[in-house]
Chains A and B, each alone.
Chain A
């Protein structure tokens, strides 16, 4: 079972060096314990571009699809047997990156 574990930033900005070190250690652990599938950092949504090609002509919009104070700043994709396992990992992940975390199952 795969879960999307999202990092929610509310404008704190990029990770500090301590946070980065903690995230690295957490990532190492995820890999060592076999939960790791993929992860990536995204930073602020400012450079986002939205494309809508549903009606023949692609419409390009500058900026994220939704403007909000909180945004997705990075994510993990984890393989875990059930929600309890992921919630525990997410609790550690939230501590490591010093941000809120959202857990969602893949279909």
Chain B
């Protein structure tokens, strides 16, 4: 086996087995910290040994056994120092979870613990990427432009809180499940969005590493909870968005709006997979949640051969449905963009102007107004709106796009 093959085997094992190893060790030793450290050591051992010894026939089992031994070594070392270890074990619920149609995979417990509502949102994101995603602390720190020390402390503090406050290591009860699943999906959507529309002027406009990681973790949750509509909806939404990734930014690093994108450059396989998921949800007949509706909107866009071919009445109808679930002004703003295509920019502008109070600090609000004013030929007002949008936009591709649009005003 060549060195490249071994390296690929290690990468694949890391992708496929990391969360499983951490989850099974957490269950066995009742301690996230021990599990994380032992898993990291096991993978380091693989990196050192597999090139010479060859890749074991069952890499997952090899890694779990190695990690188990590392954990036992550490516990032996520490139990000589004090017996606190045993007292501070995490609560592990031995009762099987109530039948809610989920596979009781160890990794689900891990995911729900990392995304527990008693942890702050930033902490949940960091912990999920570390424990479930297997990203290193420096990688997560870079992804969110935080100092490595600060990120390390955030994760350490989270592990300590889980242990001392006894955040349980289990799949929530059927009654709590929908709220807890939506908490998990919010974490993954945040990771995806930070990749899709990176907010820093110092990073690439699209961070493929983050979108890919978010999709990978959402696929995992989809495999673990195949009957959850919102999980399917979020995965479809991510796939249909990711499919357009390369068409969304020009070679010169400028955002390309939907109407100007080369639709032939969209990833047909991702579009097809996203459409399949949306159709599956439609066929279920169950009332859709917000991710499913957002996915359906993206399915309409990705079904159209060009912008004129888009079924805007369908898009507006879906937004109406979404407004019924979520009355946030951002959704109202996105609905107005579709209304502009159906009923004209004048009607849309009237709606958008009413959102001023809540969205005055949001770049997309000003960008939308600017575009509507431009289409109505009100150049001066459009220019002022572009200026505000440019000042507020953090994404480099978006800033470039808005600047060009502004400078093209007559």
Using a CB–CB cutoff of 8 Å, the interface residues on chain A facing chain B are 1, 81-84, 87, 103-105, 107
Contact = CB atoms under 8 A, between A and B. Distances in A.
Contact of A81 (B91, B117, B165): B91
B91 A105 contact: no
A87 B118 contact: yes
B168 A82 contact: yes
B118 A1 contact: no
Contacts of A1: 91, 166
Interface of B: 91, 116-118, 164-168, 172, 176
A35 to B, nearest CB: 14
A1 B91 CA distance: 10
A13 B228 CA distance: 46
Given A83-B118, A104-B165, A105-B164, 7 more contacts: A82-B91, A83-B165, A83-B166, A83-B167, A84-B172, A87-B117, A105-B166
B168 A107 contact: no
Say whether chain B's binding surface is mostly helix, strand, loop, or mixed: loop
Contacts of A104: 165
Contacts of B118: 83, 87
A103 B116 CA distance: 15
Contacts of A82: 91, 166-168
A106 to B, nearest CB: 9
Nearest to A1: B166
Contacts of B167: 82-84
Contacts of B117: 87
Contacts of B164: 105, 107
Say whether chain A's binding surface is mostly helix, strand, loop, or mixed: mixed
A107 B176 CA distance: 28
Nearest to B166: A82
A83 B112 CA distance: 13
B177 to A, nearest CB: 12
A84 B117 CA distance: 10
B91 to A, nearest CB: 5
A83 B164 CA distance: 10
26 contacts: A1-B91, A1-B166, A81-B91, A81-B166, A81-B168, A82-B91, A82-B166, A82-B167, A82-B168, A83-B116, A83-B165, A83-B166, A83-B167, A83-B168, A84-B167, A84-B168, A84-B172, A84-B176, A87-B117, A87-B118, A103-B165, A104-B165, A105-B164, A105-B165, A105-B166, A107-B164
A40 B116 CA distance: 30
Contacts of B165: 83, 103-105
Contacts of A105: 164-166
Nearest to A85: B168
Contacts of B176: 84
Contacts of A103: 165
Ranked 4 nearest A-B pairs via Cβ: A82-B168, A82-B166, A82-B91, A105-B165
Most buried by A among B91, B164, B165: B165
A84 B116 CA distance: 9
A82 B94 CA distance: 14
Contacts of A87: 117-118
Nearest to B93: A82
Contacts of B91: 1, 81-82
Nearest to A107: B164
A36 B91 CA distance: 20
Contacts of A81: 91, 166, 168
A103 B165 CA distance: 9
A87 B172 CA distance: 13
Contacts of B168: 81-84
Nearest to B167: A83
Most buried by B among A84, A105, A107: A84
Nearest to A103: B165
B401 to A, nearest CB: 44
A107 B88 CA distance: 10
